[in-house]
Amino acid sequence: MKTLTIIAAILLLFPTGGMGGDKVVPQIIAHRGYWKAAEGAKNSITALEKAGEFQEKYDIYGSEFDVNMTADSQLVVCHGPKAGTISAVQKATFDEVRQQKLENGEAVPTLDEYLEAAKDLPIQLILEVKTHSSIQIEKVVVAKVVEAVKAHGLEKKIDFISFSINICDEIRRLLPEATIFYLNGDLSPKQIVEHNLSGISYSFSVLDSNARWISQAQKLGLKVNVWTVNDPKKMTKMVTYDVNYITTDDPELCHTQIDTYNTLKKQKMQ
């Protein structure tokens, strides 16, 4: 009942369904996989598979995951900078990282293992290339990531995101047709267009403070994602703002909020 009251109040504030005119129904991205259904194992292959199962049931858009390069130039799927007892994944060897266990007992996966597991899943992959210590190292990381994506034939199945504008630019150089979003929140939509990127993927606080960027971005042909939204009130607020995607740790709750909002909106318009 409390959730319905909140949504009804937001509908009063935005009776036409958003700030940008035509209504956009946001799609859901599972943050680090659907890890709540995988015994808390973020970035695990099981969390990826659970996101795929959820997609078949609720038709969500994608599953996000993080890629770091170890000190001996191996690509691993983990958020970093920590992994288990390791304080800095990028300064550790692959063997050291591999010995770490995720919450469900799985080993930290390699990028190749992760991509192989994703091949037949009915879901888009949102690959975050983590920021590394120098532009030169980031170029090496991007080259290795692109090589792996091509080797698995997944160029069309992967969207790229990064907090590093250098990484975004390098991905664009190597993959001219790729979908690439910038994460850091410090560039305007016009600047994103100048970098020839596909969209902005900014935090809730950034987009809530700069709501005009959403419609500006979309008018420029960009897409807009908001991360990482777990509060139902904030989810509903982003629906009214007409974002294209909502990244969340709780895709089921997000699906419920979007569905409830749309149901109440239809009832209000009848």
pLDDT in tens, 48-82: 999 999 998 888 999 999 999 999 999 999 999 99
φ, ψ of residue 85 to 5 degrees: the values are: -90, 0
| Residue 166, pLDDT score | 98
- pLDDT for residue 18 is more than 70: no
pLDDT of residue 270: 61
CA distance 76 to 87: 15
Neighbouring C-beta atoms of residue 23, cutoff 10 Å: 13
Q: Looking at the predicted structure, is the pLDDT value of residue 15 above 90?
A: no
Closest-CA residue to 43 (of 116, 102, 121, 118): 102
Can you give the pLDDT at residue 2?
53
pLDDT at 3: 54
Model-wide pTM > 0.85? yes
Instruction: Give phi and psi for 29, each to the nearest 5.
Output: -120, 125
Predicted pLDDT at 266: 75
Neighbours of 261 (CB within 10 A): 23
Structure tokens at 45: 């292959």
Q: Strand, coil or helix: what is 268?
A: helix
Quick: pLDDT tens for 151-199: 999 999 999 999 999 999 999 999 999 999 999 999 999 999 999 999 9
Read off the DSSP letter of residue 109.
P
Domains of the chain: 16-269 (3.20.20.190)
Tokens 């659970």 locate to 50
